[in-house]
Amino acid sequence: TAGITQAPTSQILAAGRSMTLRCTQDMRHNAMYWYRQDLGLGLRLIHYSNTAGTTGKGEVPDGYSVSRANTDDFPLTLASAVPSQTSVYFCASSAGTSNEELFFGEGSRLTVL
C-alpha cells in the first residue's frame, strides 16, 4: 500500500523561483498536514487541512500556501523561494483531528540557493 506519497524527493531551487511540493494519500484520511524539519528544531507545522475544502495556518505559514481541492491531495506552494526555506518537508495525514496517529510521507528535501 502506498500510504502517503510526496514528490519530488529532493530539489535544488534558485531564490525567487516558485515551487510546488506534491502530496497524495490513499488512506481516505480527513486531515492532512505540512511540516518542516530543521536540524536542532522540532517539527514545525506550516499549514493543515482538517477536511477537503478547508485549510488553516500552522506555526510557520509565511511564504507558503496550500489547497485541498479533494481528500487525497494537499500540495504546498512556495511562491517566491528564499534560502531560509531550505529544509526537509514532510506531509502527514490522520484519520481525524483529535489525537490521531500521524502517517508521514518520506519527505522532500528542498535547497534554496
Partner 1 sequence: GQNIDQPTEMTATEGAIVQINCTYQTSGFNGLFWYQQHAGEAPTFLSYNVLDGLEEKGRFSSFLSRSKGYSYLLLKELQMKDSASYLCAVSDSNYQLIWGAGTKLIIKP
Q: Please enumerate in sequence order all residues whose Cβ is within 8 A of that of 97, keeping only pairs 6 or more positions apart, or say none.
A: 30, 31, 50
Rank residues 79 and 106 by Cβ distance to partner 1 and give the closer one. 106
Cβ atoms of 9 and 108 closer than 8 Å = yes
CA pseudo-torsion sign 85, 105, 74, 35: negative
7 touches partner 1 by CB under 8 A? no
Please tell me whether residue 14 binds partner 1 under the rule CB under 8 A. no
For partner 1, give the closer residue by CB, 20 or 37: 37
Helix (H, G, I), strand (E, B) or coil at 83: helix
**Residues 44-83, mask of contacts with partner 1 (x by CB under 8 A):** xx------------x-------------------------
- Site residues for partner 1 per CB under 8 A: 40-45, 58, 90, 97-99, 101-107
